[in-house]
Structure 1
Amino acid sequence: MTQPATLEVAASKDHHGENFPVASVLIAPRYRPAILAYYRFARAADDIADSPTLTPKEKIARLDAFEATLLGHTDSAATALPLRASLAETGITPRHALDLLTAFRMDAVKTRYADWAELMHYCAYSAAPVGRYVLAVHGESEATWPASDALCAALQVINHLQDCAKDYREINRVYIPLDTLTAQGIGVEALAAPEASTALRACLDGLIDKTADLVATGWLLPPQVRDIRLRIETAMIAQLADKLVTLLQKADPLSEKVHLAKFDFLLQAILGLFKGLFTGFASSPRVGALNSVPAKEK
């Protein structure tokens, strides 16, 4: 095997800088290393896909090296090695990481999305695998996947809406579906304005409404989660998503930073904590928790 190489670009943030909790103190310590290994793999690969200096060909080559390292064909991508070791230890399928790489390859070459369905297809690879991996680490049933997928897609679209102007200006990428812009008689250049026009506001409002529906479906997740700590964490995340949807309904992402202040973040987290504590357990059993006998890959 080749020796590990520096294929990564400068990290844009660590797990403390994300909109939503990543391996927070609520997560049981025995699960945290596996989750952080996945997060660091995802962050490094995402930064490659978002690099303003790498060409699409260079991005694809580096992402291919991540996959080859993850699957044990090479050691060339150093950041993929901890996740490879974690997957070997836990018996969790690499599928959830490979799906992420599919999304990042899309980002390397694709800058526009035709409609909501195409955006949701992207989210099925860029967002859903994250929730599924965390659930797998905790040994939760795959019956939790539909609600988790909806919540993760909502988080992804919230991020797209928060950064819609920045993504267009800095890397010429637009996740706002083109058909929604066309319906209002505008193009992607509307995202370069100092503030949202009435037409762009109508586009954003329609997307926010669809995102709110995703969050509503995502609220079905906490009661299905058997691990009490993860159940609280998912309720906190759903509560934070609800609040950010409310903020996006009132704020203009072109002219202001639509993020929760520290106090508001803490308040929403506490509300989510109580909702998680008082939601009921689902009847579905847990399957194959970390350090138990791994389920066979499908």
Structure 2
Amino acid sequence: MAQQIETPSGKWAGDENFPVASRLIARRLRAPVMRFYAFARAIDDIADSPELSPDDKIARLDAFADALSGGTNPGDPALAKAEALRKTLEETGVTAQHGLDLVTAFKQDAVKNRYADWQELMGYCRYSAEPVGRFLLDLHGEDRALWPFSDALCTLLQVLNHLQDCADDYRKLDRVYLPESWLAVEGESIEALARPSASPGLRRVIDRCLGGVEELLAPAAELPRRLRDPRLAMESAAIVRLARAITKALHRRDPLAERVELSKPAKLAVAVRGVVSIVFERRHGPMPAVAGQATGTPS
């Protein structure tokens, strides 16, 4: 029944680049986080389905939004993930707006395949990325004054995902998140993404995007320091450290020639360093910088 509306891709939390509801999150909150993820995964898969027309995608996404809002057809098993999230939101007191914002982003994906400039891309991330962190902060009862720090972290994670997937997004979905104006400056076209490796011009565009990520890393790194919940602080510190490592890897490696990602052992090692660092900092103050490494440099 669910597949009458859903278009499952087979992807799940374990396939993501960054942890989803890891053991660092309080046990009582892991199920709500996973229900939010399941909702997000379902609507993302609809937006990415190569078989559906844009109008069909939007109709299905609207049905998810209606179910999340408690609309006209409650209990529809084809919308079970939206129903489950709606009930969770009622129990926890978290607004449905975060989920509805994700629907807005994926409806945009259904009809928009190009981004003129960095600012337009940041506007997309406002709906595709920022709601995830805002949901987590609200779920943990954190101060909404922390939203800008969470927004920075979620946005840079979204851009990193775009860079990791830039070749596949173009080849499979004809979708490009690289700013067209930056490609034009380098004398490149969208078709450069079809090549087996990045040209010098495309490489400069990728590095320019990574420069934007690095600007966002500074406010993002403040998030774990300001959170009240120590477990969420550890989770966010691990994610910040993973983001720095993937940024560094993307500077060195070509996302057209290979899938640029960390191995599972490397992910674990990097995440543990992030956790240890924030635990130490919250107890004793900032850890001393490693010799030869500038403070804040991606590592």
The TM-score, its normalising length taken from structure 1, stands at 0.91
Deviations 1:213-246 (A, max 9, x none): 1122200100111000000000000000000000
Residue 184 of structure 2: which of 162, 177, 182 is its match? 182
5+ residue gaps, structure 2, are 284-299
Paired residues of 1:222 and 1:276 also in contact (CA < 8 A):
yes
Q: Percentage identity across aligned positions? A: 51
SS in 2 for 1:24: coil
2:12 aligns with 14
Instruction: Say whether 1:210 aligns with 2:212.
Output: yes
Equivalence for 1:292: none
Aligned to 2:234: 232
How big is the shift at 1:4? 7.2
- Paired position in structure 2 for 1:285: none
Over aligned residues, Cα RMSD in angstroms? 1.3
The residue that corresponds to 1:35 in the other structure is 33
Amino acid at match of 1:112: R
Instruction: Assess if the C-alpha contact under 8 Å between 1:103 and 1:122 holds in 2.
Output: yes
Moved more, 9-18 or 193-202: 9-18
- Contact 1:6/1:78 (<8 A) preserved: no
Higher relative contact order (CA 8 A, sep 6+): 1
The Cα of 1:149 is off from its aligned counterpart by: 0.2
**CA deviation map 1:61-88 (0-9, x unaligned):** 0000001101111234222111011011
Amino acid at match of 2:46: I
User: Offset of 1:212 from its aligned partner?
Assistant: 1.2
> Residues 127-276 of structure 1 correspond to what in structure 2 (within 5 A)?
127-276=129-278
Q: 1:91, CA displacement in angstroms?
A: 1.2
Pairwise CA distance, 1:5? 7.3
Q: What's the CA shift for 1:12?
A: 3.3
Amino acid in structure 1 at the alignment position of 2:228: R
Cα deviation for residue 11 of structure 1 reads 3.3
Q: 1:120 aligns with which of 119, 122, 127?
A: 122
**Unaligned 5+ residue runs, structure 1?**
282-298
Where does 1:22-61 land on structure 2 (aligned, <5 Å)? 22-61=20-59
Higher helix proportion: 2
- Counterpart CA distance in 1 for 2:22 and 2:94 is 21
What displacement does 1:278 show?
2.1
Could you tell me which amino acid in structure 2 is paired with residue 132 of structure 1? R
Number of residue-to-residue matches in the alignment: 279
Q: Secondary structure at the match of 1:219?
A: helix
Pick closer, same or farther for the CA change 1:268–1:4 going to 2, 3 Å. closer
